Structure formats: structure tokens, C-alpha cells
């Protein structure tokens, strides 16, 4: 395996040499807190204490760095823990951040309810609109532009390359939450972003059995005063301590091995479900970047390998019916989260995005969000069809 190897090869092998003593082909779960020193400071392979570093976590961090083609990867106890660490490592009270008008509710809550009282100011901009982002920048004070693409739950698309130029012109970092696309479908660092974050709870883990986060810092950060981003994130990861445990790291590593094949199937199935929804009389709008009339279609086609497994749609009959549809499917499980092998359905306004009600990030009440799994597409379409036909 080399740095030039393809994505699936790196997902299976990067950071995962066969175990030196036993030859185990999968990195063992080093369920351990501390390490014997051969004399004071005589660390074997550098391991001292598992908050600072643990071999199973190191394997995951190296794999993520390789997949996103970054300088270094960091694994956290959750996606939000990774985001919090990035924000507090690289920014300070008095700094300003531009945040997206459509974003994961918990990310916005972190900005609005945790980091604003800490002294971090933010402005909200529609990140599909490059000029709106440029206008939201406060010269000299904006140190970061935060982007999610595709966005949650409306599947908006941000032009990563254009926003990187806008951020860098202003002396700010571009951070991309790559959770919805996954490292397989989109590589923000190659498009000019400085840092990538993931909720590995979603596609990276992929089996709805682990909560985790990852951060990858890019190779050549040139934003003045933040060139040492790798060291700062490393220092804060250890100092704040929200690290991924050994078993959680192992689960995410195991998930990554099949990310490429899973994502292809998620995309195949999503395309089938979109075809069905677009033709259904109960549906007033379908949000999917693969649709030619989606406002971000051209940009998505340029910066994504395919268009992903997330879809949202609106019901002609309004909120009550949207809520009922979510309750009337049987194969589609009503639940939060996304990116697992099993298909999920949810009502963002009352579930994942309840925390942004009454803010500028409020989502339409007639919206239903689908995380399309990798079951048989015919079964998924049939189950959604019976619910829509009955209620729509
Ligand atoms: C779930 C999610 C997060 C938060 O990750 P956790 O693992 O739940 O902390 C952040 N961003 C996006 C886009 C998400 O979907």
C-alpha cells in the first residue's frame, strides 16, 4: 500500500500493518489505560497513557489522515467533541466565525449556546451563496469559515473551492464538515479546505453501533498565525481529553474498510428512491443534489464522486402528514442519526433540528429526511410507497 493507492485500498490498509508480535491482520483493541516504561521515560513505541495516545486509536487516526489526504488525523468521542476541540484549539474569545444557515442542529447549538458565551462571535450566511459568505466576513476578525456540504437536512451544496479562496483572502481557515458526503464521495482538502471534520457515528462507522468523531488537518496551512494547526489540535485533543476509546476506534476502523462499497450502494438506492419521490403526487419538493434542477447540482457534480445517500422531501399536505408518514413506514425505521446500513426516516423539525426551532436555522415543518440504507431498493420504494399512498 502506498500513498498513491486507491481509496478502498487505503481504507483497508492505511495505519493497519499486521500486528508486530502476533501477525493479527486487524489492529487489536488495546483496551488499556497505561503502558510499562523501560526506565523513566522509556516508552515503547511512544505510548505513555491512553488519553494521549492508544495504538487502536492511532490506527484509526492514520487511516483517516490517509483517506482525506491530510497531514494528521485525530479521533474523538463524538463528532461534536471533535468540532469543539477544533474551535477552541484554533480560535480565541473575540474571534469571529461565519457559520452556515443550514447545518446540523447540534453544531449550531455548539456555536450559539456554548461558544458564544465563551466569547466566539458568529454570523450566519447561506453558504450556497459565495457572495453572502464574503459579505458576512468581518475583515481582521473572521478567523474561520465553517461549512457543511451537503447540508443537513436540506441538502444544500457549498462550493468548497470558491469558499476556500474567500476564506483565505480574508485570512481565515475553511473548515468542512464532511459527514454527509463521507471521505469516499468528497475530499475537501484537495479542493482547498484546511480542516475536515466527521461525525464517524454516521457513514464512517456505518452500522449504527458507535458514536465518534474525526478531524483531519490539511498538509499546508498558510493562514497567518494558524500554520501550526496540527500541533494546536494535537495539544487540545490531549488537554481537553474527549478522545475516542479503543473499542470505539476499532468499530470505526472496521466500518471504514467497507465505506467505498457501502457508499456506492447508498447512492444506487438513493437514486431509485429519488426517482420514485419525484413522480409522487403527495410530494411537493425533493431535495437531492443529484437532481439536475437542484440549485447546487453543477457544483456537486464537480466536487463529489456521486450524490450520496441522504434525501429530504416535502409533503404537499403539510406538517401533519409529514409526521404521519414517518410513523407509517415499517422497513424505514423512525429514528435520528444517519449513514447506517439500515434505512432511517425522521421529521427534522421535531427531531434532529428541534434545537434550532425559532432561530435562523429553523427547518420547514413539512420536511421529511431519509437516510437511505443498503437494503434492496425495491423493498425501500415499496414501503415508502404504501405510506405515501395511504396518507399523502
Ligand atoms: C451527527 C452530526 C454531527 C455531530 O456528530 P456526533 O457524533 O453526533 O457528535 C455533526 N455534523 C453532522 C453533519 C452530523 O450529521
What does pTM read for this prediction? 0.96
HSE-CB for 283 with a 13 A CA cutoff:
22
Give yes or no: residues 152 and 245 share one domain: yes
Strands of the 121-125 sheet, one edge to the other:
72-76, 213-217, 195-199, 173-177, 142-148, 96-100, 121-125
Give yes or no: residues 354 and 303 share one domain: yes
CATH of the domain at 243: 3.40.640.10
Pocket lining: 66 vs ligand 1, CB cutoff 6 Å: no
CATH of the domain at 354: 3.90.1150.10
User: Residue 98, Cβ neighbours under 10 Å: how many?
Assistant: 28
DSSP H stretches of helix in the chain: 7-13, 55-67, 79-90, 105-109, 116-118, 130-136, 160-169, 182-185, 229-240, 246-257, 259-278, 297-303, 319-328, 377-391
Is residue 181 assigned to a domain?
Answer: yes
Is residue 2 assigned to a domain?
Answer: no
Q: Whose CA is nearest to atom 4 of ligand 1?
A: 79
Is residue 281 assigned to a domain?
Answer: yes
Domain containing 238: what range? 7-257
Separation of CA 271 and ligand 1 centre (Å)? 24
User: Mind listing the pLDDT tens digit for each residue in 319-346?
Assistant: 999 999 999 999 999 999 999 999 999 9
Residues 6+ apart with CB under 8 A from 172: 98, 137, 142, 143, 144, 145, 223
Separation of CA 243 and ligand 1 centre (Å)? 15
Separation of CA 202 and ligand 1 centre (Å)? 8
Helix, coil or strand: residue 65: helix
Q: Pick from 231, 257, 283: which residue ends a domain? A: 257
Give yes or no: residues 46 and 66 share one domain: yes
Give yes or no: residues 336 and 217 share one domain: no
User: Mind listing the pLDDT tens digit for each residue in 173-225?
Assistant: 999 999 999 999 999 999 999 999 999 999 999 999 999 999 999 998 999 99
Give yes or no: residues 280 and 230 share one domain: no
Helix, coil or strand: residue 122: strand
Give yes or no: residues 305 and 167 share one domain: no
Give yes or no: residues 225 and 310 share one domain: no
Give yes or no: residues 182 and 272 share one domain: no
User: Mind listing the pLDDT tens digit for each residue in 91-148?
Assistant: 999 999 999 988 888 999 999 999 999 999 999 999 999 999 999 999 999 999 999 9
Pocket lining: 78 vs ligand 1, CB cutoff 6 Å: yes
Give yes or no: residues 326 and 207 share one domain: no
Is residue 62 assigned to a domain?
Answer: yes
Decide if 36 contacts 44 (C-beta within 8 A).
yes
Is residue 1 assigned to a domain?
Answer: no
- Give how many domains the chain has, as a whole number: 2
Helix axes 246-257, 259-278, angle to 10 degrees: 70
Q: Whose CA is nearest to atom 6 of ligand 1?
A: 79
Place of cell 441522504: 310
Q: What is the mean pLDDT of residues 258-281?
A: 97
Is residue 247 assigned to a domain?
Answer: yes
Pocket lining: 79 vs ligand 1, CB cutoff 6 Å: yes
DSSP code of 17? P
> Residues with catalytic annotation?
51, 104, 177, 202
Q: Pick from 257, 290, 322: which residue ends a domain? A: 257
Give yes or no: residues 382 and 270 share one domain: yes
Q: Pick from 257, 290, 309: which residue ends a domain? A: 257
Give yes or no: residues 119 and 195 share one domain: yes
Amino acid at each position: 500500500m502506498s500513498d498513491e493507492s486507491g481509496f478502498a485500498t487505503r481504507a483497508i490498509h492505511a495505519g493497519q500493518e499486521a500486528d508486530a508480535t502476533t501477525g493479527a491482520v486487524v489492529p487489536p483493541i488495546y483496551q488499556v489505560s497505561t503502558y510499562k516504561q523501560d526506565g523513566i521515560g522509556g516508552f515503547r513505541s511512544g505510548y505513555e497513557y491512553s488519553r494521549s495516545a492508544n495504538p487502536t486509536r492511532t490506527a484509526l487516526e492514520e487511516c483517516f489522515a490517509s483517506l482525506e489526504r491530510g497531514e494528521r488525523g485525530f479521533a474523538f468521542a463524538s463528532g461534536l467533541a471533535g468540532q469543539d476541540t477544533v474551535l477552541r484549539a484554533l480560535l480565541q474569545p473575540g474571534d469571529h466565525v461565519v457559520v452556515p444557515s443550514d447545518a446540523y442542529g447540534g453544531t449550531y447549538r455548539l456555536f450559539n449556546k456554548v461558544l458564544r458565551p465563551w466569547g466566539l462571535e458568529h454570523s450566519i450566511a447561506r453558504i450556497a451563496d459565495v457572495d453572502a459568505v464574503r459579505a458576512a466576513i468581518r475583515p481582521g476578525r473572521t478567523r474561520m469559515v465553517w461549512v457543511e456540504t451537503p447540508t443537513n437536512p436540506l441538502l444544500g451544496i457549498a462550493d468548497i473551492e470558491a469558499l476556500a479562496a474567500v476564506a483565505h483572502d480574508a485570512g481565515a481557515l475553511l473548515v468542512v464538515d464532511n459527514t454527509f458526503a463521507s471521505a469516499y464521495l468528497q475530499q475537501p482538502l484537495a479542493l482547498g479546505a484546511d480542516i475536515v471534520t466527521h461525525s464517524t457515528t454516521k457513514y464512517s462507522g456505518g452500522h449504527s453501533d458507535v458514536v465518534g468523531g474525526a478531524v483531519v488537518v490539511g498538509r499546508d496551512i498558510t493562514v497567518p498565525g494558524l500554520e501550526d494547526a496540527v500541533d494546536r489540535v494535537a495539544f487540545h485533543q490531549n488537554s481537553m481529553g474527549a478522545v475516542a476509546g479503543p473499542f470505539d476506534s476499532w468499530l470505526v476502523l472496521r466500518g471504514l474498510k467497507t465505506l467505498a462499497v457501502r457508499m456506492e450502494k447508498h447512492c444506487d438506492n438513493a437514486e431509485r428512491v429519488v426517482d420514485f419521490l419525484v413522480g409522487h403526487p403527495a410530494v411537493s419538493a425533493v431535495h437531492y443534489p443529484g437532481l439536475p434542477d437542484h440549485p447546487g447540482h453543477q457544483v456537486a457534480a464537480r466536487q463529489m464522486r456521486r450524490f450520496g445517500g441522504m434525501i429530504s422531501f416535502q409533503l404537499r399536505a403539510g406538517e401533519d402528514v409529514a409526521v404521519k408518514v414517518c410513523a407509517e413506514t415499517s422497513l424505514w425505521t423512525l429514528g435520528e442519526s444517519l449513514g447506517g446500513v439500515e434505512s432511517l426516516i425522521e421529521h427534522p423539525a421535531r427531531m434532529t433540528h428541534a434545537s434550532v426551532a425559532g432561530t435562523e436555522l429553523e427547518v420547514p415543518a413539512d420536511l421529511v429526511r431519509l437516510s437511505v440504507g443498503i437494503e434492496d431498493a425495491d423493498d425501500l420504494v415499496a414501503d415508502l410507497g404504501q405510506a405515501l399512498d395511504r396518507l399523502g
